[in-house]
Structure 1
Amino acid sequence: MSFDTILRNGRIAGPEQGPVDIGVRDGRIAAIGPKLETAAADGTRDIALDGRLLVAGFVETHIHLDKSCILDRCACRTGTLKEAIETVAAAKLAFTEDDIYARARRTLEKAIVQGTTRMRTHVEVDPRIGLKGFRAINRLKRDYAWAVDLEICVFPQEGLTNDPGAFELLLEACENGADLVGGCPYTDSDPHRQIARVFDLAKRFSIDIDFHLDFDLDPSWMHLDEVCRRTMEHGWGGRVAIGHVTKLSALDAASLQRVGAKLAGAGIAVTVLPATDLFLMGRGIEHSVPRGVAPAHRLRDMGVTCSLATNNVLNPFTPFGDCSLIRIANLYANIAQAGRSDELEACLDMITNMPARLMKLADYGIAVGNPADIVVLDCADGASAVAELAQPILGIKRGRISFSHPAALIHRPGIETGAAPGEAAMLNAPGWPDRVPG
């Protein structure tokens, strides 16, 4: 059999198995097995992986490309959610389409080299920004289709029913191809009406929904109940996701079990955003500050589809970030005190397979016939990937190398170049790319 590329001696993330070769042809995975053979001198690129871990790329379910990289435009003092919303609202008055594109491109490229191959980005649509963000991110979606599959969720950050013109802009974005619609009920003067209108748009265009929801630490009431009710009423199970839900971090075990059962029964997925939630929650509390991060791994065990995601990068909501989902998984594991091998593997699952399920990606995974979307991690198993923040060192998107970052080499005294005898020198391995193709 002939191949365009063979990845030699890699380990596929999942149930323990021995090293395998993966043959790629015409942008798809054509074969998986030990020691794949190919015709001599047929031009196949062979890449030696030395037992490293393979995933089908990381899946980012919740990021804000349009308002990333604006720290220099915002003067923040309190670090609260209210301040973040207000300062970004003021800053975006000066946004242009080209400015949004340039900042979003910078952020997207970070995500690509950190191993992300699928992404859902939330884009603000309202009378202040209009459709500038939507148009800019649509351009980005087209320009970077070679490296990442990007879907756009349009939503009103600053309210809907109390913001004249916002609904009409959401409607226009949906008419012009938005992939899904979102909401932010906690900023609306009539949260239940906003939820209803978002469901109306979703039904009208037959698209999915992704809400920012219940972003505080008071568990005595939740908009989650209304979202569950509407989801079941409209038969939208499996098509609704909710992000943040930091209220769930304040629930006792019995209450969390009831909420988990409700979410699983309604078919609503949960996205937890550790960096932002940890940064913003608990402001004003002087000691024993709560973490404010919903227990995704426990909800996962209750049958809820859960993902871990980045949210914001270098803005008042999250003034840091390198778009590494491995780092987010590791941060979550620290917060959740998840240190057993099975818990660490669950964290990896929540940045790969489970978010793929949330986004209904039927062709995700390293399997014959699927797109050859493969990321190589510098480790041997899933638990180590999270525990050691394993570096993504090679990415392939639909059979084409999208990035490369060869593993670090120790330059011992007396050795001028390459690696010490007997060490794997991936940098010099046959077929290893010298650069990312342009």
Structure 2
Amino acid sequence: MSPLKIINARLDAHQPPATLHVENGFFVEPFAASTPAQTLDLQGKLVLPGLIETHIHLDKACIMERCQLHAGTLAEAVQQTRAAKAGFTEADVYQRGSQVLDKAILQGTTHMRTHVELDPQIGLVGFNAIRRLQADYAWAIGVQICVFPQEGLLNNPGTEALLCAALEDGASVLGGCPYMDSDPLGQIERLFQLAAHYDCDLDLHLDFDLNPEGMTVEAVARCTERYGWGGRVTIGHVTKLSTLPRDALMAIGKRLAEVGVQVTCLPSTDLFLMGREQFHNKPRGLAPLAQLHSCGVTCSVSTNNLGNPFTPYGDASLVRQANLYANISQMGTQAELLQCLGWISSESARLLRLPNYGLTPGCQADFIVFDAPSPAAVIAEISPPLMGFKRGQPTFTRPLGQLLKPH
């Protein structure tokens, strides 16, 4: 792998083009002019670090043709997916997961955390397929596997043994879905016990409805504090937070920041599923990240699902998800758009505890290139990336569109 010299790279809207140096897969200090190196002239195009997908389900993507969508509710999505899952094979999961990974790479994603369902029905079929994808796609994208009990844990005998087997065989994160358990608080407690035993991070689907009653977020905060797991716990969806008055929300935000619980919003899924019982004055139903961020909570925006009853559409574009969140949350200033960009890049890297993320010497050379005037404009214009690199090696290119004007 020969050194790479990247010239005329724009890092923001205000500084002159820069030169970046890559050696052995990392950004380095400028090497000597005599060092043999390839040169990449970006001609003033914008360079950003690779995008980070913090919450996606590769194992149950692209199954809409096997499902029937009527009510469009969370309960129906779970039921329809459960029925489709009965026919999953390792080859099937691999093929559908590869479709999503191909799309994600072309959209500039260089790292992702994928949630994988384990239960006695599916066994380790999905996990084994995702493990193969993890290895086969390492040239372009880092895949972190989070195994979780979608169908319940305490009320579903045999599930815990499967989770433990996966954690001993390559899964690095333990997930949860307390609202699907007969004892939600009991599941939360047991997940923390297992996380402590396996020394792994936690990522929980939590409080996924618009009824402010019955929140379990405080139980997660208490366990995070008691087990000393600050910075290692993420809660996803938490749409109940969108129903709270500002003072109550800010109090929870400060509590989460204090104990180190992180929050992921899944805008496409949450908008599709939430608020269906109301015809007029529909709630947005998205976790209020701007307010949580102002309290010091690490946040991210992510995709969740593509082509299934939880989310029947999507193209794996994190830029599109960030733009959607900005639009729905009415975040339009340059600073706000940059914050939305952070929720699919630098903040997401912090949430996943990824080392060496960025464009400075010592960082892994995972980067993408845009034809956009500024980082904020990438989100505002939903700009597609033109090329991407993983550890300094090219992973994709996308030619610019060309108008064919009549002469």
Determine the structure 2 residue equivalent to 1:420: none
Where 1:360 maps in the other structure, the secondary structure is coil
Matches within 5 A, 1:360-399: 360-399=353-392
The one-character-per-residue Cα deviations of 1:139-175 (angstroms, maximum 9, x if unpaired) are: 0000010101110000000111111111111111112
Determine the structure 1 residue equivalent to 2:348: 355
Rounded to whole Å, the distance in 1 between the matches of 2:130 and 2:194 is 21
Determine the structure 2 residue equivalent to 1:195: 188
TM-score by length of 1: 0.90
For residues 237 and 347 of structure 1, do their structure 2 counterparts lie closer, same or farther at Cα, with a shift above 3 Å needed?
same
The answer on 1:105 being equivalent to 2:104 is: no
The answer on 1:405 being equivalent to 2:398 is: yes
Q: Which has the larger radius of gyration?
A: 1
The answer on 1:7 being equivalent to 2:6 is: yes
Determine the structure 2 residue equivalent to 1:434: none
Where 1:127 maps in the other structure, the secondary structure is coil
Rounded to whole Å, the distance in 2 between the matches of 1:236 and 1:289 is 36
Determine the structure 2 residue equivalent to 1:308: 301
Where 1:12 maps in the other structure, the secondary structure is coil
Rounded to whole Å, the distance in 2 between the matches of 1:235 and 1:11 is 41
Q: Match of 1:48, as an amino acid?
A: D
TM-score by length of 2: 0.97
Matches within 5 A, 1:20-419: 20-31=18-29, 38-39=33-34, 42=36, 44-414=37-407
- 1:211 offset after TM fit, Å? 0.1
8 A Cα contact 2:388 2:397, kept in partner: yes
- 1:328 offset after TM fit, Å? 0.2
8 A Cα contact 1:153 1:180, kept in partner: yes
Rounded to whole Å, the distance in 1 between the matches of 2:267 and 2:150 is 20
Rounded to whole Å, the distance in 2 between the matches of 1:12 and 1:349 is 15
Q: Match of 1:12, as an amino acid?
A: L
For residues 16 and 305 of structure 1, do their structure 2 counterparts lie closer, same or farther at Cα, with a shift above 3 Å needed?
farther
Q: Match of 1:5, as an amino acid?
A: L
Rounded to whole Å, the distance in 2 between the matches of 1:20 and 1:154 is 41
Q: Match of 1:103, as an amino acid?
A: R
Rounded to whole Å, the distance in 1 between the matches of 2:293 and 2:306 is 26
The one-character-per-residue Cα deviations of 1:311-330 (angstroms, maximum 9, x if unpaired) are: 00000000000000000000
The one-character-per-residue Cα deviations of 1:365-391 (angstroms, maximum 9, x if unpaired) are: 111122211111221212101000111
Name structure 2 gaps, 5 residues minimum: none
Where 2:203 maps in the other structure, the secondary structure is strand
- 1:6 offset after TM fit, Å? 2.2
8 A Cα contact 2:58 2:96, kept in partner: yes
8 A Cα contact 1:3 1:23, kept in partner: no
Determine the structure 2 residue equivalent to 1:419: none
- 1:51 offset after TM fit, Å? 2.2
Where 1:29 maps in the other structure, the secondary structure is strand
Q: Match of 2:48, as an amino acid?
A: V
Rounded to whole Å, the distance in 2 between the matches of 1:192 and 1:100 is 31
Where 2:157 maps in the other structure, the secondary structure is coil
Q: Match of 1:271, as an amino acid?
A: T
Rounded to whole Å, the distance in 1 between the matches of 2:15 and 2:130 is 40
- 1:261 offset after TM fit, Å? 0.4
- 1:283 offset after TM fit, Å? 1.0
Name structure 1 gaps, 5 residues minimum: 415-438
Where 2:21 maps in the other structure, the secondary structure is strand
8 A Cα contact 1:247 1:292, kept in partner: yes
8 A Cα contact 2:131 2:170, kept in partner: no
Rounded to whole Å, the distance in 1 between the matches of 2:32 and 2:244 is 56
The one-character-per-residue Cα deviations of 1:3-22 (angstroms, maximum 9, x if unpaired) are: 63222212225x95322011
Rounded to whole Å, the distance in 1 between the matches of 2:194 and 2:88 is 27
Rounded to whole Å, the distance in 1 between the matches of 2:29 and 2:104 is 28
Quote the sequence identity (%): 50
